[in-house]
A = this chain, B = another copy of it.
Amino acid sequence: MRSKISAANERELLLRRLTSNRPLSTSDERLLGELTWRSEDKPARTQFVQEGDRPTESCLLVQGTIVRSRYAEDGRRQILSVHIPGDMPDLQSLHLERMDYGLETIGASRVAFVPHSALNAVFARSSSLSATFWRETLVDAALYRTAIFRNALLDASARLANFICEMHIRHQTVGLIDENGFHLALSQEGIGEVLGLTNVSVNRSAQQLRAQGLIRMDRGQIQVLNFKVLAKLGQFDTTYLHLPEVAMSPRRGSSDRTDREKRLG
């Protein structure tokens, strides 16, 4: 259940993730490489960080699927976010003392831990590296925004479409996708806990999307057949993922903000 392996995998995974937007300086890369990770394998359905905890380390998901969760009084679970390899789902515990959510595995997963003290030491030495990690938590917040939007304004099918689009792109970004699509350990009930729907509703929505030829979805294997239509249906816009801008359009000059104001109502 525990192993102190050479942290080569963790380092590489993290590096790939952090540099997906802009390259790190060689000194930052070296600093990053000095971090020591402790890896652990977790079985499926295991809550390994809990609400109220005061972690002294943060984790990196190396393999598998984990979720952030919060429970209602009657025991129902809300999944706040779904994480795939490369994510650091409790980086924020570096600055927020108590956990306000739990972390649990969905399928069997491999998780690597790094002490807060080590991270802080590194950030004190490099403000650019600090900014890179800060940015990660900001993208995370952007995903939350989309969850709020999605669950409030879209109906069941559109929610599912939107969610599948997000997971598709995120898997694509870290190279976890092939001709059969990507693997998502979440059951239909689990997807319901993300989208604020029941398993029944998710099932019926999935059937609709399948009937329209937009997706294939079979026991955790999801394939997007028509991304464009799926995205349209789910009102999906990649902006919030803050991916690298391939064909960087010339930056719009910093025009006077007041010129662009819009009166509402």
Which residues of A are interface residues toward B (Cβ below 8 A)?
Answer: 1-2, 40, 42-43, 45-56, 68, 70, 72-73, 76, 78, 80, 92, 95-98, 100-101, 104, 113, 123-124, 127, 130-131, 134-135, 137-142, 144-149, 151-154, 195-196, 235, 239-240, 242, 245, 251-252, 254, 257-258, 260-265
Contact = CB atoms under 8 A, between A and B. Distances in A.
Nearest to A252: B54
B97 A242 contact: yes
Chain A to chain B: the 9 pairs with minimum beta-carbon distance, closest first: A152-B196, A144-B144, A100-B240, A95-B135, A141-B141, A45-B264, A56-B254, A72-B153, A47-B262
A80 B239 contact: no
Contacts of A260: 50, 53
B145 A68 contact: yes
Contact of A153 (B56, B76, B95, B252): B76
Given A45-B263, A46-B261, A152 B78 contact: yes
A216 B244 CA distance: 49
Given A46-B262, A47-B264, 16 more contacts: A1-B258, A2-B258, A43-B263, A45-B263, A47-B261, A53-B260, A72-B149, A80-B145, A95-B131, A96-B139, A97-B242, A100-B142, A100-B240, A144-B145, A147-B148, A151-B151
A141 B46 contact: no
A51 B235 contact: no
A96 B142 contact: yes
16 contacts: A43-B263, A47-B261, A47-B262, A49-B257, A54-B252, A78-B148, A80-B148, A80-B149, A95-B131, A96-B139, A100-B145, A124-B127, A134-B134, A144-B144, A147-B148, A152-B196
A137 B141 CA distance: 8
Given A78-B148, A148-B144, A40 B258 contact: yes
Nearest to A144: B144
Contact of A78 (B101, B123, B153): B153
B264 A78 contact: no
